[in-house]
């Protein structure tokens, strides 16, 4: 299985996990949904846009995204 197919399979699994969280209470589901969103974005950036091979670029995109998603989750928990 090549890397694009692995990335696609990972995204399908993460999407199924997102659907499973839909039944939870919103206050409990938001942190999990933010983590899943970050994992999806990281897999798309690294797998489909090939940023895994570019030194520093994957982290340069995912660190601010992770901080923003953590802020959203924290605001929801307040």
Q: Where are the domains of the chain?
A: 3-77
Rounded Cα distance, 71 and 75, in Å: 6
What does the DSSP 8-state code read for residue 48?
Answer: I
pLDDT of residue 11: 97
How far apart CA 78 and CA 66 sit, in angstroms, is: 18
Q: Which whole number is the average pLDDT over 49-77? A: 93
pTM over 0.95: no
Q: What is the pLDDT of residues 6-62, one digit of tens each?
A: 999 999 999 999 999 988 988 889 999 999 999 999 999 999 999 988 889 999 999
Which pLDDT belongs to residue 75?
A: 92
pLDDT band at 1 (very low <50, low <70, confident <90, very high): confident
């Amino acid at each position: 299985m090549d890397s694009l197919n692995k990335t696609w399979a990972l995204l399908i699994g993460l999407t199924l996990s997102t659907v499973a969280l839909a039944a939870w209470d919103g206050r409990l589901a938001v942190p999990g949904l933010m983590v899943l969103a970050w994992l999806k974005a990281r897999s798309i950036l690294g797998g489909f846009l090939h940023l895994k091979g570019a030194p520093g670029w994957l982290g340069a995109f995912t660190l601010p995204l992770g901080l923003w998603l953590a802020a959203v989750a924290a605001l929801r928990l307040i």
